[in-house]
Amino acid sequence: MRDIIYWILCAFLTVAIAIVSLRYVTNFWLLSFVYSFQVHLGVVFVAASLVVLTIKRQIYGFILLLVSLFLVVHGVIMLREFSQDDKATNKPPLFRLMSFNIAIDNWRNSTEITDMVIASNADVVNLLEAKPLTFHLQQLFKAYPYHIGCDAGKDTCDTLVLSKRPFVSRQVASMGSLRKNRLVIASVDFGGETINLVSAHLTKPYFDDFQMAELEDLAKAVGSIDGPLVLSGDFNSSVIAPSIQGFLREQKLKTITPEPATWPVSAGALGIAIDHIFARAPLHLTSLKRLDSSLGSNHSGLIADFVLDRGGETSPAK
């Protein structure tokens, strides 16, 4: 009986490990979201391997344990791949940015979200699925005189970018073919330095290959911009998802690691980061924190401070 239980558990564990390990062979869109949980699943596999070994100590159980440990260790290494250096962290912040997917059906907490945004002391605020703020826009516009989005009523109120300073340039575009106007490209002058701001809201990775097409369009947009750049928004994927990795490497984007977990909210710090704030040199993050409360959203918001390494070159967006 012990042999039967041992081999049944080994079979199930082998299949599960094989599914996660497919990332090393192919970036299949249906499994892309699974890849984001590699570290979490690896820990589960390690625990399951130890259970298998308590039932019977055979070589195959140890092989499963070693492979599970590899998935965990390599996952952690991948999470740290896009960690920026800290050479500029002793400089005073140039500006602060907040990014928050407030959830499109989160009407109940719209007043609290509005108050939180105004009290945040952020210079720029990137709000996604902003429709619930429809009846608070005038209050927000008093605190943030410059905005992009939500000009034509609630039916077009999705991405809303707020700024305390005027925009040097501004553009609203689409990525892929599934959803429209979820890419905002702007630039703001901070103390004589033009900072390029990009807001993106990507489709869930298991919606066919729509996210891959969106990343291609996003790469073209980001790649056409010169100078210091911030990319923030909801990517619906971790940085260890193969498609996100390729995009970040190509665009030379960095962040602070470990990134704060933003989803699922109920998991707290044990969740994963699918909402991100990235910077491209000569811009550097000096802090990256999760907002104290999700205020009814299924995502946690982020707030970050930035400095400019003035040894680098800057230029306005193309």
The backbone torsions φ and ψ at residue 23, rounded to the nearest 5 degrees and listed phi first, read -60, -25
Does residue 316 lie within any of the structural domains?
no
Does residue 236 share a domain with residue 155? yes
Report pLDDT digits (tens) over 280-305.
999 999 999 999 999 999 999 999 99
Confidence at residue 311, expressed as pLDDT on a 0 to 100 scale: 62
**Residue bearing tokens 């750049």:** 229
Q: Structure pTM? A: 0.92
Does residue 31 lie within any of the structural domains?
yes
Secondary-structure percent of the chain, ordered helix, strand, coil, rounded to 5: 40, 25, 35
Does residue 289 share a domain with residue 145? yes
Does residue 280 share a domain with residue 204? yes
Report pLDDT digits (tens) over 242-283.
999 999 999 999 999 999 999 999 999 999 999 999 999 999
Question: What range does the domain containing 285 cover?
Answer: 95-308
Report pLDDT digits (tens) over 185-225.
999 999 899 999 999 999 999 888 899 999 999 999 999 99
Per-residue pLDDT band at 111 (split at 50, 70, 90): very high
Q: What is the CATH number of the domain that holds 232?
A: 3.60.10.10
pLDDT at residue 316 greater than cutoff 60? no
Does residue 317 lie within any of the structural domains?
no
Per-residue pLDDT band at 87 (split at 50, 70, 90): low
- In this structure, the strands spanning 193-201 and 229-234 are parallel
pLDDT at residue 312 greater than cutoff 60? no
Does residue 296 lie within any of the structural domains?
yes
Does residue 313 lie within any of the structural domains?
no
Report pLDDT digits (tens) over 172-184.
999 998 889 999 9
The residue type of 144 is Y
